[in-house]
Amino acid sequence: MRNFNSSGIAIVRVVLGVIMLAHGIQKFAVYTVAGFEGVLGELGVPFAGLLAYAVPIVEVGAGVLLILGLFTRVAGVLTVGVGLAALFTMHIANGLFVDDGGYELVLLIAAAGAGVALLGGGRFSLDAVVPFGKKPVAQTA
């Protein structure tokens, strides 16, 4: 059962990471920082100029970390933040369905981020093999 749980965590973590990475790259390459800043400004989001850089950087960074399973809980929390920010600034007024500009995708992104933040990276992650902040286990002879 443990491998099923770890496999499930890995699938959600990697797919969520790919989605986050793609959204970050899209903001840089397709929408452009200036275009994204304009959208944020039209919505009345404070610090639109700063956030136009910060959001795609967080999306790319969290995406890479989720794919690798490194600092997974931190990446999950960042993902929740991005998902909820998108929910409340851009999508909530449009209803649930994404084809109407609704919030179903960003809500799912936030929920998956929360799940990953709570569960961690699982056995199939770099977090499982890199001893960040972990005390070494005493060897017995």
Q: Taking the CA of residue 129 as centre, how many other CA atoms within 13 Å lie in the half-sphere pointing to its CB?
A: 5
Q: At what angle do helices 104-119 and 72-86 cross, to 10 degrees?
A: 160
Rounded to an integer, what distance in angstroms lies between the CA atom of residue 123 and that of residue 61? 21
Q: What is the mean pLDDT of residues 47-63?
A: 97
Rounded to an integer, what distance in angstroms lies between the CA atom of residue 135 and that of residue 56? 34
Confidence category of residue 140, pLDDT binned at 50, 70, 90 = low
- Give the pLDDT score at 1: 65
pTM confidence score: 0.90
Gyration radius from the chain CA atoms = 17
**3-class state of residue 115 by DSSP:** helix
- Give the pLDDT score at 55: 98
Rounded to an integer, what distance in angstroms lies between the CA atom of residue 88 and that of residue 70? 28
4 pLDDT above the threshold of 60: yes
What's the pLDDT tens digit per position in 63-95? 999 999 999 999 999 999 999 999 999 999 999
- Give the pLDDT score at 36: 96
Among 89, 96, 65, 87, residue whose Cα is nearest residue 78 = 65
Regarding predicted confidence, which is higher, 13 or 140?
13
Burial 29-65 (b: 16+ CB within 10 A, else e): eebeeeebbeebeeeebeebeebbeebbebbbbbbeb
141 pLDDT above the threshold of 60: no
Confidence category of residue 133, pLDDT binned at 50, 70, 90 = low
